Amino acid sequence: MRTTKSFSSKTNNNPYRVNQEIDVDQVRVIDPDGNVLGVLSVPDAISKAEEFGLDLVEVSPNSKPPVCKVANFGKMKYEMQKKLSDAKKKQKIIETKEVKMTINIGKGDYDVKIKHAKEFIEKGCKVKVSIRMKGREITHRELAEDMMKGILSETSEFAKVEFGPKLEGMQLVTILISH
């Protein structure tokens, strides 16, 4: 016969109360096959669960009376963790890539940076385009702004602007995303 364990819902981030944690007078009990056993007192329900060699798990605490299921709590917990990990795997994490330039960049390097930005966006990443101005170049901010306009017009066929262009310190920054 299985010994009744008291799983602490506080420490395991467990949404369910199990066995002696259930602190109501009566509960509606469902057996492992899904059949309703009726409304029982908690001690009777726990002893019924012990007959099956399983735990009494409160699955619906807000109903009157609360609904408890006779189940293997360790297995339930494992399945919940498995569902959570599957949900995490299915989430798409959008990565942000950065393309850095200066206002003195050569045409070949500029074309390569635009090509990289296009590749990143096609892969589903956001692209942060930053044009850095060094030293006194900040006094010629209009050159960086013109360059950024050129970048935005070249990337407009495969990307749209999420925000920007915006001056952050010594650099002009914008973020591009896929259409």
Tell me the pLDDT tens digit for each residue of 41-54: 888 888 888 888 88
Whole-structure pTM value: 0.52
The rounded distance, in Å, linking the Cα atoms of 177 and 162 is: 6
Cα angle for residues 21, 22, 26 (degrees, 5° grid)? 160
CATH code of domain 96-178: 3.30.110.10
Mean local confidence (pLDDT), 82-99: 86
Q: Do domains 17-88 and 96-178 have the same CATH topology?
A: no
DSSP-derived 3-state class of residue 50: helix
Q: How many angstroms from the chain centroid is the CA of residue 56?
A: 31
- Which residues is 177 bridged to in the sheet? 160
Mean local confidence (pLDDT), 73-83: 88
Give the domain 17-88 fold.
Ubiquitin-like (UB roll) (3.10.20)
Domain spans of the chain, in order of start? 17-88, 96-178
